[in-house]
Amino acid sequence: MSGDDEDWRVQLTGHAFDIDEVEALLSTQGFAIEQQDSEWFLSGPALSVCETSRQAQLLAINLIETSNAVLSLSRSDYRPIQVGAKILRGDSINIAVLAATAELRTKALGVGVVTSATQQENPQPPRPYERQNRWMEAARRASEVEAVLNLFISGTDNPLWRAFERIRKDLGGDNQVRQFMDWGKTRYSRFRKTLNSPRHELEPPSSLPHPEAESMARELCHKWLDIKSAAQ
């Protein structure tokens, strides 16, 4: 990790593969994750301006929860990581009580963060995670995008179905969703039945394989998020 020894470093916990995924996403925003002994710590320019360990903790939680949301939408096998209780600054170690979830349901990443959305005179090939970064940026400015991403943060039951319901309402109804995705009426009906039913209750041919319905829901979310982020 590069940076000043007096910058805040906030502990992260989770599986190494998923922490690597978050590091790849956040590196495009100027953040870094380093492993120290058997622990991981987040650092970055936005954390360095925090005056207290509490501010650093809250910013890290907002950042990690939003990262969890976009990566959960991007990859079905992603396992969310968490912010730990240990916060470092220089030689000081702070053990913080984790903030209550309700305290964090404000605009994610309210503190300014360097993102990949900067316009360039000469177009460049898309960078890794540019799409997800646009979603995160859109969530800071559009309440409907924030509401959909929050479904994948708050432990909502069947978040893909809840996201579908919100997007369907935003688009104007079932016919608009079918047109938006170019899905046939029968396939769309089977998709809806499958996505909103427990796996053990599904019977072909009136339903789809559950992974197929979830993949369709992710495609819908991705396309809708792409359009919303482009409109910002």
Residue 37 pLDDT:
86
Residue 62 lies in a domain: yes
Residue 123 lies in a domain: no
Same domain (yes/no): 224, 135:
yes
Residue 101 pLDDT:
46
Same domain (yes/no): 194, 152:
yes
Residue 153 pLDDT:
85
pTM, 2 dp? 0.79
Residue 119 pLDDT:
36
Name the burial class of residue 60, with classes exposed (0-12), middle (13-18) and buried (19+) by CB atoms within 10 angstroms of its CB: buried
Q: Which of 40, 70, 104 is the last residue in one of the domains?
A: 104
> With a cut of 70, which residues of the chain have pLDDT below it?
1-5, 91, 96-128, 154, 198-206, 232
What are phi and psi for residue 20, nearest 5 degrees? -60, -40
Same domain (yes/no): 170, 223:
yes
Residue 117 lies in a domain: no
Residue 129 pLDDT:
87
Q: Which of 86, 104, 122 is the last residue in one of the domains?
A: 104
Same domain (yes/no): 140, 84:
no
Residue 98 pLDDT:
58
Same domain (yes/no): 207, 170:
yes
**Mean pLDDT of the chain, nearest integer:** 83
| All residues at 6 or more sequence positions from 167 whose CB lies less than 8 Å from its CB, including other chains | 148, 177, 220, 221, 224
Residue 171 pLDDT:
97
Parent domain of 13: 8-104
Residue 93 pLDDT:
72
Same domain (yes/no): 100, 162:
no
Same domain (yes/no): 138, 99:
no
Residue 170 pLDDT:
97
